[in-house]
Every structure is written in structure tokens, then in C-alpha cells.
């Protein structure tokens, strides 16, 4: 959907731009010359309304050409500087909530062709802890948002029992047998586990099976048929970023549940190839990320999520019920 909008915006900008240049540099001068010829032929005695009609452009050309400056401004801002995105799911909670509208720095990791996402001018690379928007490798027409955990060459180890990460930055993509004991891990710090203010809510369907959970604040009133599980939270420091993560209070995954395996490494361990990144959601037990489908190629990066500019109280696929002005601000 986002890719289709980029194509439509590009085509509309190009089309109206052609009309604008033709009108400014060809058609308007031609009409002005015609007005002068008519004035000379009538010795200046012609009605001014007639001259105005001669000088007037066709309505549809004038209307479309007048759109070009606006479309050009939107095209430049959206394609190369900032693009707005809406958060559709809870995979990045509590950092990002459903209904948050975010601004994504398109220039953070390179100026790119807005249609093919090909880098035109390199400007930088993601850092550990950056929240990034990218084209999902399994379907590039879909945009995902996750946090960068592993950089190229990193060895990433995830413990599903403790919900903690270990990262060994000195490994290389071709060193499948990188020894944890031989390479120093990054100093990733975690605060003690506490109960969060968020619940995962499950509701019965017609077959009396509980459907996939939504998320609600603990102060929310729930339907009597619903069941809720209070999620745990703790602070994680990853690179320059300190952020909160959410997790279930029990183990729901085993290392063998992670579908993406990596060149003979034990389950739950990955070495990030050169030119690719390992990403995860902050809602650790509710995120489909690199643990399950693999790495993000650098060419798939869209930009860095920098700020929340509007936030609506809502659930997925439902209409907003309020505004959360307190959430407007920078993303950590």
C-alpha cells in the first residue's frame, strides 16, 4: 500500500510538473503573443474581455498545473526527508502503541529512490537500539517497524527463559563457530522484572475459543467474558537507547520454536551477515521478527522512527475513541 502511494505520488508530480513547465514556458508565452497580434490588428480598440479570453488557459490545464508546487513539496518531504506512518499492531509496545502516528527520517540511512528504495546517496547506517521502518523481506510491499538488535557481524543470543539478549560484536558472518567464551559480549543491562500497566486481553468467539489478544491499560473496564493477562516489564539498555520491554510472565517459546536457524549454530543463536540486520519488537512475546523470519537487508531500510506526532486511543481495525496528547514526543 505504501509503495503504491509512492508510485501514484511520483506519477502525479511528474505529470503536473510537465503541464506546469509547458504552461509557464510554452503555452502562456504563445497566448501572450496571440494577444499582441490581436491588439495590433484592431489598433488596440478590441474589448478587454475578448483579450482576456484569448489569454485565458484551458481550465483543466490551469487546475492541474497549479497542483504541481504542492505535489512537488509533498513529494520531496515524503520521499527524502520525513514520511508519516501509523502503528497498526502492539509488537513495539510499550515504546509504540496502536494508534500512534510517527515521523520517519527518510534521510537517516541514505537518500533513496522512492519507488525502488534503491540508495542514491548513502548518509549513514543503523545503530544498535534504533527503531527502524523497513520493507518486510518476505513481502516488500509491507512495511514493518522493529528495533535494531544486531549489526552486521554480531552474534545474537536470545534466552527465551529470561527474555534477555547477549550480543558478541566481534564475530563475522563466515565464523559460524564463534565461541561465546572467546569474545566479550556487550554490556547490556536489565532492571528487575516488574508488573506493567498493560494487559493482554483475550475474548471468546462463537466457538468459545479465546481469540488472539488485544492490549489494554489496567485501568480499562473489560467485558465479563474477556480474560486478561498482566504483562511484565523491565528496562533494557541497548547501545545508546534505554527503553522498556514487555513480556509474558511465563515462558511461551523454546529456543527450538525460532524458525530461522543459522548455519549450524544452536537454537536461539544467530550471526548477522554483512549488509544485514537483526531486529526485534519491544513486546518480546508478541512480535514476529528476525527470530522467526530472518535478517533485514540494508536495501530494505526505509528510515529511522524519530518522533510521535499524534496518538489516538484505539485497537487494531477499530475507530479511535480518544486522543493521547501525552504521547507526542521523541521515540527512544
Whole-angstrom Cα distance, residue 80 to residue 65? 23
Does 155 participate in catalysis according to the annotation?
no
Does 91 participate in catalysis according to the annotation?
yes
Q: Which of 146, 155, 163, 314 is catalytic?
A: 146
Polymer length of the chain = 332
Distance of CA 290 to the CA centre of its chain: 16
Q: Which of 91, 287, 290, 311 is catalytic?
A: 91
Write phi, then psi, for 98 (nearest 5 degrees). Answer: -60, 130
- In 136-275, where do the E strands start and end? 143-150, 155-159, 164-168, 189-190, 194-202, 214-217, 227-238, 241-247, 269-271
CA atoms within 13 A on the CB side of 125: 11
- Determine the Cα angle at 295 with ends 290 and 301, to 5°: 105
Selection from 150, 96, 143 nearest residue 275 by Cα:
150
Residues noted as catalytic: 91, 146
Amino acid at each position: 500500500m505504501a509503495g503504491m502511494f509512492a508510485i501514484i505520488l511520483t506519477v502525479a508530480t511528474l505529470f503536473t510538473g510537465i503541464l506546469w513547465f509547458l504552461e509557464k514556458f510554452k503555452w502562456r508565452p504563445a497566448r501572450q503573443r496571440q494577444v499582441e497580434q490581436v491588439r495590433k490588428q484592431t489598433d488596440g480598440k478590441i474589448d478587454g474581455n475578448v483579450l482576456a479570453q484569448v489569454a485565458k488557459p484551458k481550465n483543466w490545464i490551469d487546475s492541474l498545473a497549479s497542483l504541481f508546487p504542492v505535489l512537488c513539496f509533498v513529494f520531496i518531504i515524503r520521499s527524502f526527508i520525513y514520511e508519516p506512518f501509523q502503528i497498526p499492531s502492539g509488537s513495539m509496545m510499550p515504546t509504540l502503541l496502536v494508534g500512534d502516528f510517527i515521523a520517519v527520517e527518510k534521510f537517516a540511512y541514505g537518500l533513496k529512490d522512492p519507488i525502488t528504495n534503491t540508495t542514491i546517496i548513502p548518509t549513514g547506517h543503523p545503530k544498535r537500539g534504533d527503531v527502524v521502518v523497513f520493507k518486510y523481506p518476505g513481502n516488500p510491499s509491507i512495511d514493518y517497524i522493529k528495533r535494531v538488535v544486531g549489526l552486521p557481524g554480531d552474534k545474537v543470543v536470545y534466552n527465551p527463559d529470561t527474555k534477555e539478549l547477549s550480543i558478541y560484536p566481534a564475530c563475522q558472518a563466515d565464523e559460524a563457530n564463534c565461541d561465546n567464551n572467546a569474545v566479550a559480549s556487550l554490556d547490556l543491562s536489565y532492571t528487575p522484572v516488574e508488573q506493567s500497566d498493560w494487559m493482554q486481553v483475550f475474548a471468546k468467539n462463537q466457538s468459545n475459543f479465546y481469540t488472539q489478544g488485544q492490549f489494554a491499560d489496567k485501568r480499562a473496564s473489560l467485558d465479563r467474558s474477556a480474560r486478561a493477562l498482566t504483562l511484565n516489564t523491565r528496562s533494557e539498555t541497548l547501545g545508546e537507547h534505554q527503553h522498556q520491554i514487555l513480556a509474558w510472565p511465563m515462558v511461551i517459546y523454546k529456543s527450538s520454536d525460532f524458525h530461522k536457524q543459522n548455519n549450524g549454530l544452536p537454537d536461539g543463536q544467530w550471526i548477522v551477515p554483512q549488509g544485514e540486520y537483526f531486529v526485534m519488537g519491544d513486546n518480546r512475546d508478541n512480535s514476529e521478527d528476525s527470530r522467526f523470519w530472518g535478517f533485514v537487508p540494508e536495501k530494505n531500510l526505509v528510515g529511522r522512527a524519530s518522533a510521535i506526532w499524534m496518538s489516538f486511543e484505539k485497537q487494531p481495525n477499530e475507530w479511535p475513541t480518544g486522543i493521547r496528547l501525552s504521547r507526542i514526543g521523541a521515540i527512544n
